[in-house]
Amino acid sequence: MDMFPAAAFPSTQSECRYVAGLMSGTSFDGVDAVLVKLTGARDTIQLNVKAAYHTSYSDDLHRRLHALSRSGRAPIDHLAALHGHLADCYADAVTALMNQAARPLSSIDLVGVHGQTIAHVPASLADGPPGRGTLQLGAPGALASALNCPVVGDFRPADMALHGQGAPIIPYFDYAVLGDAQETRLMLNLGGIANVTVVPAGASRADVRAFDTGPANMVLDALTELLFDEPYDADGAYAKAGTPYADVVATLIREDFFQQPPPRSTGRGQFGTDYAQRVWAQVRRHDGSRHDALATAVLLTASSVYQAYAQFIRPNAPADRMLVSGGGVHNSTLMQALRNAFAPISVASTADVGIDPDMKEAIGMAVLAHEWTHGTATALPSVTGATRAARLGALHLPPAS
What is the per-residue pLDDT across 347-380, written as a single tens digit (0 to 9) for each?
A: 999 999 999 999 999 999 999 999 999 999 999 9
Asked, for residue 44, whether it belongs to a domain, the answer is: yes
Same-domain pairing of 67 and 193: no
Cβ neighbours of residue 103 closer than 8 Å, sequence gap 6 or more: 18, 35, 50, 51
Domains: count for the chain:
2
Domain with 114, as residue range(s), is 6-168+359-396
More reliable by pLDDT, 155 or 121 = 155
Same-domain pairing of 372 and 301: no
6 pLDDT more than 50: no
Nearest residue to 362 (alpha-carbon basis) of 15, 19, 10, 102: 19
Q: What is the pLDDT of residue 133?
A: 87
Helix axis angle, 290-312 relative to 332-342, nearest 10°? 40
The pLDDT confidence band at residue 267, using thresholds 50, 70 and 90, is confident
Asked, for residue 119, whether it belongs to a domain, the answer is: yes
Same-domain pairing of 147 and 250: no
Same-domain pairing of 282 and 376: no
Same-domain pairing of 139 and 234: no
Question: Chain centroid to CA 305: how far?
Answer: 16
Q: What is the pLDDT of residue 154?
A: 96
Asked, for residue 176, whether it belongs to a domain, the answer is: no
More reliable by pLDDT, 112 or 64 = 112
Same-domain pairing of 79 and 133: yes
For 241, list phi and psi in degrees, rounded to 5.
-80, -5
Nearest residue to 114 (alpha-carbon basis) of 135, 145, 85: 135
Q: What is the pLDDT of residue 68?
A: 79
Asked, for residue 252, whether it belongs to a domain, the answer is: yes
Cβ neighbours of residue 82 closer than 8 Å, sequence gap 6 or more: 61, 64, 65, 68, 116, 137
Q: How far apart are CA 307 and CA 148, in angstroms?
A: 47
Same-domain pairing of 100 and 229: no
7 pLDDT more than 80: no
SS3 215: strand
The model's pTM: 0.90
The overall average pLDDT reported for the chain is 92
Q: How far apart are CA 200 and CA 178, in angstroms?
A: 11
Query: Any idea which of 67-81, 84-98, 270-284 has the lowest mean pLDDT?
Result: 67-81
Asked, for residue 288, whether it belongs to a domain, the answer is: yes
Could you list the beta-strand ranges (E) of 63-132. Answer: 110-121
Cβ neighbours of residue 33 closer than 8 Å, sequence gap 6 or more: 20, 21, 22, 52, 53, 54, 55, 90, 93, 94, 96, 97, 362
Cα-only R_g, the chain: 20
Q: Are 378 and 394 in contact (CB under 8 A)?
A: no
Mean pLDDT for 226-247 is 97
Same-domain pairing of 322 and 233: yes
29 pLDDT more than 90: no
Same-domain pairing of 252 and 304: yes
Q: How far apart are CA 98 and CA 350, in angstroms?
A: 24
Query: Any idea which of 56-60, 301-305, 333-337 has the lowest mean pLDDT?
Result: 56-60
Same-domain pairing of 225 and 364: no
Residue 364, domain CATH:
3.30.420.40
DSSP label of 14: T
Asked, for residue 173, whether it belongs to a domain, the answer is: no
Asked, for residue 388, whether it belongs to a domain, the answer is: yes
Asked, for residue 63, whether it belongs to a domain, the answer is: yes
Residue-wise pLDDT for 293-328, tens only, equals 999 999 999 999 999 999 999 999 999 999 999 999
10 pLDDT more than 60: no
Mean pLDDT for 212-229 is 96
Q: What is the pLDDT of residue 400?
A: 82
Same-domain pairing of 191 and 332: yes
Q: Are 20 and 35 in contact (CB under 8 A)?
A: yes
Same-domain pairing of 154 and 188: no
H/E element, 349: strand 346-349
DSSP label of 255: S
Q: Dihedral, CA atoms, 243, 248, 254, 260, nearest 10 degrees? A: -60
DSSP label of 399: P
